[in-house]
Structure 1
Amino acid sequence: MDTRTFMPPEWAPHERTWMAFPPENETFGPAGSLSLARARAAWSRVARTIAAVEPVTVVADPADHEAAREALGEVAEIVTIGLDDAWMRDIGLTFVQTAEGNVAGVDWVFNGWGDQPWAPHERDAKVGVEMAGLAGVERIGSPLVNEGGAFHVDGRGNVLLTETVQTDPGRNPGLDRAAIEAELHARLGTRHAVWFPRGLTRDYEEFGTRGHVDMFACFTPSGSVLLHRQDDPSHPDHEVTRQMRQVLEEAVDAEGRPFEIIDVPAPRTVRDEDGEFVDWTYINHYVAQGLVVLCAYDDAHDEQAAAILAQAYPDCRIELVDARDILCFGGGIHCITQQQPRPRGDEAGQAARMTEEDQR
């Protein structure tokens, strides 16, 4: 019996998108705070944008069900699961397909991004179990401490990783790269890994993940890699992103071919309102059905990034959504979304759903 599973690329057909509704916590702030209100408004903007093209299910803590319904109206399905945080890419299932083509969910061990002191995770660690029941899919447990933002696949056997996440002593002490790759390949259906040594600078500060790859590199349908590039020499990521490019220039894919690299210049803004260097990025976007939801920053480079992504995703419309009130909490649009693919071979069901949507 083949127990390996396969993660379709993000641009493959979706059944739905999963998100979470920000609860009160150390990151977002207490109930009634301006910071929590800003987070909820930002998450809701993304949910509404995606709901225009595919179903969205939003997980809310039981205490926040009414607030979620008030914020989202009828655009999304609201379900209740206990939450510590709202980064669905990381706390939720990674949806995959089995050898038979059925959808299942890989439930990684979640320990608060390496057991960081600001990240209580007792409830988040159980989200995967609850999600599997709600989605009606098989749950596949994994012994690996991991998060969905820590890898990116292309559906052609390749996966992008960072050493500071996967070999983090706070996550997987005692596991070497070979052991980590073996588990990832078995669960994601990949066979070749490209390892970056680290992530963006701010990802190592408070509320950081210690180097998630989805902040600086991702595949496209053509097999090329979109790569974050910081052009301001004053920003520490100026040197970091050039090191990342060198890694990718020296790498090959599962077939032994070099990667086509598409540089995506960072926003022109380099510091936030507190004077700290930002990790604003256009790489952390989400690919829904026929739509790329792209982080916007009211920045001079927003439209340039949209044009680059329009070429990278020729079958998709690009929609810029203000993400400043997401990035200030430590992540982007990709971090707060998780795609559930359709079963393999579901073309008939897809056609029926498209007809229903046209009729509506």
Structure 2
Amino acid sequence: MKKMLCLILALPLMVSAQKNQSQLSKGNEILYTMPEESELHEGTWLQWPHEYQYGETFSNRLDDVWIAMTESLAADEKVHIIAYNEEEKEKIKEMLHEANVSLANVDFYIYPTDDFWVRDNGPIYVRDKTGKLIIEDWGFNGWGKKAEFTNCNAIPSKIARAQGKTLIDLNSVMVNEGGAIEIDGNGTLLATKSAILNANRNPGMSQGEAEAIFRKYLGATNFIWLNGKAGLEITDMHIDGFARFGNSSTLVTMSADDLADWQVPDNDIDKLYLAKNKSGKPYRIVKLPLTKNTVTTAYGKKLGYKGSYVNYYIGNKVVLVPNYQDSNDAVANAIIQKLYPAREVIGIDVRNLYANGGMIHCVTQQQPK
């Protein structure tokens, strides 16, 4: 499943975090906190698929997903679209125009990218002690050097420069994809060891060292570590495919049978259901189904595996939920709608996207207000 010194003029302040892991593990001070996804957004970031990595047929099959996300989000927040080049920008604008999508709340940034998984390679917005919003640039190495990553790894620093925001450079501190972690907005971090404490990302890093880094740069003080399963797919089992924080008191996941179908280890299932917040209180568990049937793409390819609804995205006024033209779409949408009564649930057909292993959360990244 399947991301310096103060410069003059419009350039942001870049703060180097180049310290060795032993130094970091000794520090307990929280410098930054990461807002929870459901907090009010200034906007959402999207990296539009293009033909320059995998070909035109590949990108053409995905355009409708990005058009639907843009249309659904743009009514109530900015949509920041990263286009590969000027030619791609004009192509995207024409597609949105033909779909009657207003560009009033849409802007474009021209940056070459390797792929479109902005959740994993994009900027992580955090607040410092004064409440100022800044960008953290964590290391991204193509999920353990399994894919091209150089262009995508440069995206956070380019966005910080364009927005004139302070950039915290963490490339030498930790490789960490956005889809590998879940934050409850109240000090708890949920993750799999397989996607972080892995020799292909952070060789030799201990759990304690990782926790010290997450405490300092994300404000996490309570940790729920699942083992996960490395090598199963490209992400080494990102958490956001099967478990999410619905809010500060709720964990959204699946039934034990569906988690087993997702190949989550048995002891991880037990630990997930028994998870507690930083105050020691159990989370309310909300269970979404998998699709009833294995997924077939819109172009007829049988994928041979079921689809997850957990990988949804919370916008300001909408919740974008992966849908698969499956009878369980309505079931999952209704459960999520009950969880977010003040937002409108919108199902997005992700069948073609899912052929590449990811869903809605994987291709979106929030910028808090």
What TM-score do you get using the length of structure 1 for normalisation? Answer: 0.85
For 1:213, the equivalent position in structure 2 comes to 239
For 2:91, the equivalent position in structure 1 comes to 67
* Structure 1 residues 50 and 25, CA gap change in structure 2 (3 angstroms): same
For 1:229, the equivalent position in structure 2 comes to 255
Between 213-222 and 160-169, the greater mean CA deviation after superposition: 213-222
CA distance in 1, matches of 2:59, 2:353: 11
SS of the residue corresponding to residue 32 of structure 2 reads coil
* Structure 1 residues 12 and 131, CA gap change in structure 2 (3 angstroms): same
- Which of 293, 300, 321 aligns to 1:269? It is 293
* Structure 1 residues 280 and 135, CA gap change in structure 2 (3 angstroms): farther
> Residue 140 in 1 paired to residue 150 in 2?
no
Aligned residues: 329
CA distance in 2, matches of 1:324, 1:314: 26
CA distance in 1, matches of 2:239, 2:62: 23
> Residue 47 in 1 paired to residue 70 in 2?
yes
Which deviations, in whole Å up to 9, do the C-alpha atoms of 1:173-199 show, x marking residues without a partner?
010111111111211111111111116
- 5 Å matches for 1:251-262? 251-262=275-286
CA distance in 1, matches of 2:55, 2:265: 36
> Residue 318 in 1 paired to residue 345 in 2?
yes
Deviation at 1:243, TM superposition (A): 4.6
Deviation at 1:36, TM superposition (A): 1.6
For 1:351, the equivalent position in structure 2 comes to none
For 1:278, the equivalent position in structure 2 comes to 305
SS of the residue corresponding to residue 51 of structure 2 reads coil
CA distance in 2, matches of 1:21, 1:245: 35
- Which of 131, 135, 140 aligns to 1:105? It is 135
Deviation at 1:251, TM superposition (A): 2.8
One-letter code aligned to 2:68: R
Which deviations, in whole Å up to 9, do the C-alpha atoms of 1:145-182 show, x marking residues without a partner?
01111101111101110011011111000101111111
Question: 1:41, 1:71 within 8 Å by CA — same for their partners in 2?
Answer: no
- Which of 96, 108, 118 aligns to 1:78? It is 108
One-letter code aligned to 1:329: N
Deviation at 1:241, TM superposition (A): 7.1
Superposition RMSD in Å: 2.1
* Structure 1 residues 311 and 245, CA gap change in structure 2 (3 angstroms): farther
For 1:194, the equivalent position in structure 2 comes to 224
- Which of 284, 296, 305 aligns to 2:323? It is 296
CA distance in 2, matches of 1:64, 1:239: 38
Deviation at 1:279, TM superposition (A): 5.0
* Structure 1 residues 104 and 279, CA gap change in structure 2 (3 angstroms): farther
* Structure 1 residues 300 and 244, CA gap change in structure 2 (3 angstroms): farther
Question: 1:159, 1:193 within 8 Å by CA — same for their partners in 2?
Answer: yes
CA distance in 2, matches of 1:7, 1:144: 16
CA distance in 1, matches of 2:227, 2:288: 20
Which deviations, in whole Å up to 9, do the C-alpha atoms of 1:215-256 show, x marking residues without a partner?
111112251100033747xx9626637654311233322111
One-letter code aligned to 1:121: F
One-letter code aligned to 1:5: Y
CA distance in 1, matches of 2:214, 2:63: 33
One-letter code aligned to 2:55: P
CA distance in 2, matches of 1:243, 1:46: 36
Q: For structure 2, which runs of at least 5 residues remain unmatched after alignment?
A: 1-28
SS of the residue corresponding to residue 126 of structure 2 reads strand
Deviation at 1:325, TM superposition (A): 1.8
CA distance in 1, matches of 2:347, 2:289: 16
One-letter code aligned to 1:291: V
Question: 1:227, 1:245 within 8 Å by CA — same for their partners in 2?
Answer: no
SS of the residue corresponding to residue 114 of structure 2 reads coil
* Structure 1 residues 340 and 244, CA gap change in structure 2 (3 angstroms): same
> Residue 337 in 1 paired to residue 364 in 2?
yes
Q: For structure 1, which runs of at least 5 residues remain unmatched after alignment?
A: 343-360
Between 88-97 and 306-315, the greater mean CA deviation after superposition: 306-315
One-letter code aligned to 1:115: K
For 1:121, the equivalent position in structure 2 comes to 149
CA distance in 2, matches of 1:281, 1:241: 17
Question: 2:30, 2:219 within 8 Å by CA — same for their partners in 1?
Answer: no
- Which of 176, 183, 202 aligns to 2:213? It is 183
CA distance in 2, matches of 1:238, 1:104: 35
